[in-house]
Structure 1
Amino acid sequence: MKSFVGYVEAMEVHKPYIAMLFVQCVYSGMALFSKAAISQGMNPPIFVFYRQAFATVAMAPLAFLFERKKAVPLCFKFLSKVFLVSLVGITLSLNLYYIAINHTSATFAAATTNTIPAITLLLALLFRYESICIRKVEGMAKLMGAMIGFSGALVFAFVKGPPMKFMNWYPQTNNNNNNNNSNSNSFQPYSTLEWIKGSFTMLSANIAWSLWLVLQGFIVKEYPAKLRITTLQCFFSLIQSALWAVVMERKPQAWKLGWNLQLFSVAYCGVIVTGMTYWLQIWCVEKKGPVFTAMFTPLALIITAIFSALLWKESLHWGSVGGAILLVMGLYFVLWGKKKEDGKIETIEQRHDTKEETILECITTHH
């Protein structure tokens, strides 16, 4: 019985870690399927619109069923905050992301999103949501981890090195790519201008997303129903995305969805990515903070790189492996520092509670 109770307690402690591992697996699928749909000619703003439509339809019934008792009146001020957070963190971030992925590869998109932990940490410090004491070991670990992770993302993105021959599943395709006669099923090489444009656009998307993560910490303090917050943000983003998509694309033919990969991609990104993972991330931000949530981002890169090599015939290089190692090291350092800080906070709170109980017992005994 004791072992079962201990197992349950251990699962409670590790829930945020399991949730974020799941989130990163889902995000790796997002990069792959999004790239495939947009490469087939789907307009990025229309993709975002359909994604948010699927997310809103999927989340609304869940929010109504599971959080009826948590219903709190929504004032105009709070709704305005949610609207602005949705505009910056979801609508702007997603549109920039899909524009960028149209000029780069799925692996590169996953690699550059690993700047998110460092950006999130910086923004969290600016908003005073997070603090770092460089005189303490855990503070130094968090700072060093963010720097190592950021360096790893840059190495992965810009330092290729020789290809990994033992992981070269499609040697004939790679030879064709070198001769500029790539297979029709693989993605065409990108020009330097396209790559630079995509890189800066992706960086802008990451800044917007990091800001969304930090602002969630303030939003969830005001409103306890996390599913409703997620649904509201999806709904506001749907309206914003619809207006932007109409401005960018007015041809009716471009809005049609068939029973193909494009439909599957928008459904996956809407229901699973936007609906489920956004709610999990908001929950993790409330439990562990925005920096903890952001530091799991490197895992999506490793998963995406492997599946890109398998499905889209992208070559893996030794430089990418070196960058991935740095990313994992950075993740470990930050999580270690965060765990040490949380442990110290819990110890201080326990001592404080014990002290209060002792004082109350003394007062009761005296009377």
Structure 2
Amino acid sequence: MAQDMRPYVVVVIIQVIYTGMFVLSKAALDEGLSPMVFLFYRQAVASAVLVPLTIGVKWRTSSKLSFMVLFKIFMLSLVGITVGLNVYHIGLKYTSETVASAAFNAIPVITFFLAFLLRMETLKIRTSHGIAKAIGVLFCLAGVVIIAFYVGFTIHPLNHHRLFQPKNGGQSASHSQGEWVKGTFLLFFANTAWSLWLVAQGLILKECPSKLLLTTLQCVFSTVQSFIVAIAFERDFTKWKMGFDVRLLAVVYCALCNAGISWYLQAWVLQVKGPVFVAMSNPLAIVFTVFAALIILGETIHFGSILGGILTVAGLYCVLWGKNKESKIINSSDENAKSRNMDQEVIVPIDERVVPVDERVVPIDEGVSPDHVSPQKL
């Protein structure tokens, strides 16, 4: 029983880690940390941890990669990490951690939609699973629109003292309607980049079978790329300074706990329970984030964010249900085909040659017609 419960405990731990990423990232950005500088420090710390580990474990056993494969990994890092996370941090700065956790649940839906456009997925609209996947995509789009344009009533926090108070120069937690709309669509644009990253990563893994080597190369490439972006957009070097505050805590936490521990635990759950089980646990991050915002952080939450998050989660479950039902139908048809092949009788071809009869001559009584020969005499 304890072993059966381990995957459930692990997915809860993973979602708690993601909740910490949403909360600490938002607090660090409100503290005045530049989104570009944040990404550079985060990837630099992750690279400093992964490079020695990869050299010690996989350097001698890994095969050499061609220039084309390295170029593909470089572009993969540019789209999924450098562009995706920079846009994510900017969107998070203009919205809230609740919106970020709600948008996080749209990644499987967006990934399915991109895979459908690339003809890696099918959508049979006349079947129940096809209708479920289509409804899931529509629910996800409706959730984005509601989060962006509908505010609704405000849910006041139970704790009226913010855990992380922005210092002078830090950004307040309140934002204008224009910033909120822009931040919402930036978050979902970042999720689209991550979804494209996931689809392309599955293809590149066929050419680079080592997951650890692929992760390390992406961290190294994204560190160089994010440094160039940070230098280009953040010329005020006073914002590069780090102190012993929430900004440093967010950088270390995102580099070690999110990119290290959670990825390892997620790989273990994927191996034991499969990707559907992991994806179905993602809505827990919304529950934990709302709890943290209301009780621990002392922040207000808009009803529109919760309603949009519910629609996004509903879209997620519709797509997952459709995918699961489609897989069962395919597996059942394959098993039936195998069963029919096994049950078919093996037809042995008849040799058309005349089988020789016993060459012994049976004497026939004289005067008796051959038509009246008795069986006993034959």
- Choose which of 292, 308, 316 in structure 2 pairs with 1:323: 308
Aligned to 2:117: 126
1:262-319 superposed Cα distances (whole Å, 9 cap, x missing partner): 1110111112223344566688899999998767654433322221222332223444
Distance 1:216 1:251 in 2: 35
TM-aligned CA deviation for residue 105 of structure 1: 2.0
Moved more, 328-337 or 280-289: 280-289
CA RMSD of aligned residues (A): 3.9
- Counterpart Cα distance in 2 of 1:345 and 1:315: 47
Residues 80 and 196 of structure 2 are in contact (CA less than 8 Å); yes or no, is this contact kept in structure 1? yes
Instruction: Give the stretch that moved more between structures: 72-81 or 326-335.
Output: 326-335
Contact in 1 for aligned 2:88/2:186 (Cα 8 Å): yes
Q: Deviations over 1:140-188 (max 9, x none)?
A: 22221232233234334543333346xx404699xxxxxxxx9999944
Supply the AA of the counterpart residue of 1:130: E
Percent identity reads 40
Task: Judge which range, 273-282 or 252-261, deviates more.
Answer: 273-282
Aligned to 2:257: 272
Q: Per the alignment, in what secondary structure is the counterpart of residue 314 of structure 1?
A: coil
**What are structure 2's unaligned runs of at least 5 residues?**
349-378
Which sits farther off after the overlay, 210-219 or 105-114?
Answer: 105-114
Query: Following the alignment from structure 2 to structure 1, what is the Cα–Cα distance between the partners of residues 52 and 167?
Result: 44
1:237 aligns with 2:212: no
- Of the three residues 194, 203, 206, the one matched with 1:209 is 194
Q: Judge which range, 333-342 or 145-154, deviates more.
A: 145-154
Contact 2:31 2:171 in 1 (8 A): no
- Counterpart of 2:137 (choices 146, 153, 157) is 146
Q: Using the alignment, how far apart are the partners of 2:193 and 2:179 within structure 1?
A: 21
Instruction: State whether residues 118 and 146 of structure 1, in contact with CA within 8 Å, keep that contact through their aligned partners in structure 2.
Output: yes
Q: Deviations over 1:35-90 (max 9, x none)?
A: 11111111111110010011112223444455468512211111111100100110
Q: Which has the larger radius of gyration?
A: 2
Contiguous gaps of at least 5 residues in structure 1: 174-181
> How many equivalent pairs are there?
343
TM-score (norm 1): 0.77
In terms of mean alpha carbon deviation, does 140-149 or 260-269 score higher?
A: 140-149
Partner of residue 291 from structure 2, selected from 306, 312, 316: 306
Please say if residues 109 and 316 of structure 2, whose CA atoms lie closer than 8 Å, have aligned partners that are also in contact: no
Q: Give, in whole Å, the separation in 2 of the partners of 1:160 and 1:28.
A: 22
Where does 1:158-173 land on structure 2 (aligned, <5 Å)?
Answer: 158-164=149-155, 168-170=157-159
Check 1:284–1:79 CA distance in 2 against 1; reply closer, same or farther (3 A cut): farther
Q: Which has the higher helix share?
A: 1
Matched, 1:26 2:48: no
Provide the rounded CA distance (Å) in 2 between the counterparts of 1:277 and 1:336.
Answer: 25
Task: Say whether the 8 Å CA contact 2:101–2:286 is kept in structure 1.
Answer: yes
- The answer (yes or no) to whether the contact 1:50–1:266 under 8 Å persists in 2 is yes
* 8 Å contact from structure 2 (residues 102, 308) kept in 1: no
Deviations 1:309-364 (A, max 9, x none): 223322234444433433333232222222222223333455566678899x999x
Letter in 2 for 1:163: T
Opposite residue 259 of structure 2, the aligned amino acid is T
Matched, 1:137 2:128: yes
* Contact 1:108 1:157 survives alignment (8 Å): no
